[in-house]
C-alpha cells in the first residue's frame, strides 16, 4: 500500500469525521418550506419604537401596516428604512438560514436534555465580499439546536475584540443575538433579533443598536 494512498485515506476519513455530527446534519437538512405567515412586531432603533403588522402576501409597498407611531412623526431616514424593510419582507423569517454560517467543525460546548450548544468561527455567505470574509474570521459564533430535530433555537455572533477592516475604519463592537420560536407547523422563526455595532470610519464615530421582535405570528397568508 503506497504512502500516498494512506495519506489520502486519512484525509478522507478526517473530512468525514468533521461533518459526522448527526445533529449538525439534521440542522443542515431542515426545510423551511411551508406556509407564509403574517405577523405583528416591535421595532426599536434610531430613537424610535414602532409597532406594526407585516403581511408578506401583499404587493411591495403595502406589506407593512404601521400601528404606532404615526407616519408623520417619523424622520425621512426612518421612513426610507421602512420602505426598504417593506421590500425585503417576503416571509423568510426562518432560523434555518443561520445554518449556512455554521461550519462542519463546530464544537459542542454544552448540552442538556433538550438542546446542544455549539461554538465556531462563522462562515461567510456566498454573496460576501472579501472584507466581510476577513471580518467573519475574527468572529465568535454559537448556535443552539434542538436534539429532537436539529432545529435552530438560538444564534449568536460577536467580535471578541476591536477589528480594523481598513486603515480608516475600526469596529469596536459587533454583537448579534437571535432567539427562535416554533411556528404552528414546527419550523423555528426569528422571534427576536438584536444587533449592536459601534466603531469609526473616515474619522467619524458611528453606533447603531437595533431590536426586532415578532410579538405574534398570525394566520398563514400563503
The pLDDT value given to residue 85: 93
Considering the domain boundaries, does residue 193 fall inside one? yes
Considering the domain boundaries, does residue 42 fall inside one? no
Considering the domain boundaries, does residue 32 fall inside one? no
pLDDT digits (tens, 9 = 90+) for 9-52: 334 344 444 457 999 999 999 998 999 999 999 999 888 999 99
pTM score over 0.85: yes
Using alpha carbons, select from 99, 151, 150 the residue that is nearest to residue 125: 99
Whole-number Å distance between alpha carbons of 97 and 188: 10
pLDDT digits (tens, 9 = 90+) for 61-118: 999 999 999 999 999 988 998 999 999 999 999 999 999 999 999 999 999 999 999 9
Tell the residue number behind the cell numbers 461567510, with chain if given: 124
The pLDDT value given to residue 125: 82
- Burial (CB count <10 Å: 0-12, 13-18, 19+), residue 199: buried
Considering the domain boundaries, does residue 35 fall inside one? no
Whole-number Å distance between alpha carbons of 207 and 220: 36
The pLDDT value given to residue 131: 86
What is the extent of the structural domain holding 111? 94-210
Q: Is 64 helix (H, G, I), strand (E, B) or coil?
A: strand
Whole-number Å distance between alpha carbons of 180 and 144: 10
Mean model confidence pLDDT for the chain: 90
Q: What integer is the mean pLDDT of 194-205?
A: 94
Whole-number Å distance between alpha carbons of 74 and 6: 67
The pLDDT value given to residue 4: 38
Using alpha carbons, select from 206, 199, 125 the residue that is nearest to residue 163: 199
Q: Which residues contact 155 (CB under 8 A, 6 or more apart)?
A: 95, 98, 101, 141, 142, 143, 144, 176, 177, 178, 180
Considering the domain boundaries, does residue 168 fall inside one? yes
Considering the domain boundaries, does residue 11 fall inside one? no
Burial state string for 92-105 with b = 16 or more CB within 10 A and e = fewer than 16: ebbbbebbebbbbe
The four Cα atoms 132, 46, 63, 128 give a dihedral, to 10 degrees, of 0
Is residue 120 predicted with pLDDT exceeding 70? Answer: yes
Is residue 8 predicted with pLDDT exceeding 90? Answer: no
The pLDDT value given to residue 116: 98
Considering the domain boundaries, does residue 189 fall inside one? yes
The pLDDT value given to residue 113: 97
Q: Is 203 helix (H, G, I), strand (E, B) or coil?
A: coil
The pLDDT value given to residue 126: 81
* Of the listed ranges 19-23, 35-39, 202-206, 207-211, the one predicted with least confidence: 19-23
Helix (H) or strand (E) holding 86: helix 76-88
The pLDDT value given to residue 194: 98
pLDDT digits (tens, 9 = 90+) for 151-170: 999 999 999 999 998 888 99
The pLDDT value given to residue 130: 87
The pLDDT value given to residue 63: 97
Considering the domain boundaries, does residue 34 fall inside one? no
What is the number of domains present in the chain?
Answer: 1
Amino acid at each position: 500500500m503506497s504512502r500516498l494512498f494512506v495519506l489520502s485515506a486519512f484525509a478522507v476519513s478526517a473530512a468525514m469525521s468533521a461533518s459526522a455530527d448527526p445533529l449538525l446534519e439534521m440542522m443542515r437538512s431542515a426545510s423551511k418550506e411551508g406556509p407564509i405567515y403574517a405577523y405583528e412586531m416591535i421595532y426599536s432603533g434610531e430613537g424610535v419604537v414602532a409597532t406594526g403588522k407585516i403581511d408578506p402576501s401583499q404587493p411591495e409597498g403595502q406589506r407593512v401596516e404601521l400601528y404606532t407611531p404615526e407616519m408623520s412623526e417619523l424622520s425621512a431616514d426612518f421612513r426610507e428604512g421602512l420602505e426598504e424593510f417593506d421590500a425585503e419582507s417576503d416571509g423568510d423569517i426562518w432560523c434555518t438560514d443561520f445554518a449556512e454560517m455554521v461550519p462542519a467543525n463546530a464544537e459542542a460546548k454544552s448540552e442538556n436534555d433538550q438542546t446542544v450548544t455549539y461554538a465556531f468561527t462563522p462562515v461567510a455567505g456566498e454573496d460576501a465580499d472579501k472584507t466581510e470574509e476577513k471580518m467573519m474570521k475574527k468572529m465568535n459564533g454559537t448556535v443552539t439546536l434542538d436534539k429532537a430535530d436539529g432545529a435552530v433555537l438560538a444564534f449568536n455572533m460577536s467580535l471578541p475584540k476591536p477589528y480594523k477592516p481598513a486603515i480608516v475604519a475600526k469596529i469596536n463592537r459587533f454583537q448579534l443575538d437571535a432567539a427562535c420560536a416554533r411556528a404552528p407547523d414546527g419550523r423555528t422563526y426569528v422571534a427576536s433579533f438584536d444587533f449592536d455595532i459601534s466603531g469609526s470610519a473616515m474619522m467619524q464615530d458611528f453606533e447603531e443598536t437595533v431590536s426586532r421582535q415578532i410579538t405574534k405570528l398570525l394566520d398563514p397568508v400563503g
